[in-house]
A and B are shown apart, each in its own frame.
Chain A
């Protein structure tokens, strides 16, 4: 699936715009990082894409279909939150199963099919024997992987990750970065990752979009950005990060 964002704008309570005419495309299977300092509008853009927030202007197209006004629950986008937002009173397996359990009517897989899918996903994140644990009994890295598996369970059309590694220490962060990228390749889903960490963005993404005060200053591969920063902001932000 490919995503196309056209001229998205958003302001809160009539104040200054947090997103100002943002356009962006994500190709099939591509991994794009949204990179920018705190308050630059990364989360706002991600929430607009996920449908948790409705933009004031602009369109969001998925494979050419206008989904700007489609409710979040109907988009089938897998989302991983910074806090992971695991359901604390459900076991790991129940967390992963949730998106399948809430499907309605004929769309809902049988209990055994759901169980098989959960087992498959837990194997994928290498937590096959921890299905009965509760989120509070997991390490940060494990919680992050469960959040990932839960998002993948709905067979998402797009993967959205909001600072998924920021709560982890450097060591775990690097391992998980690689494993998230590998999972995304395996599943073949396009992904957008929000981060303010330039090293992370460059390590994981095919292309990086640098955000600055509600605008995307530049989009390109890590090499392109390094070779030719388009604005003084991009140049100084990249320099500060290395």
Chain B
């Protein structure tokens, strides 16, 4: 049994330990917001946070995340309570086909956690691992830069909230 925390809940799985985390999350835990794009860590569609770091989970064996804290797009925000980045994605009409956007947003959220006020070049560099075949890059960049402040405040509030609950 491999145990880890998924969007705040402790879960365990008896999957083959070599199975990439992406497939365990999608098939066993039925969270399908994280996508399969390349299976080689090249496109970023599968990006989740592992202990706060944006990580490519299509090449991450589930055994490697034992005891770790995993956040998926479903854990970041919901249609009723979107994360500020998700709200900005709507405001800027970022998505086209939308398939890569979960991964884009997870990379962006990790960036803003670590660097609340990134420059344009820092955004480009942090987001270079996430492919968008529809070419939404200018809007992704605008949405991230427009969100930097509010996202920070939101995350701080959320952390305080979860501490209060604990």
Do the two chains belong together in a single complex? no
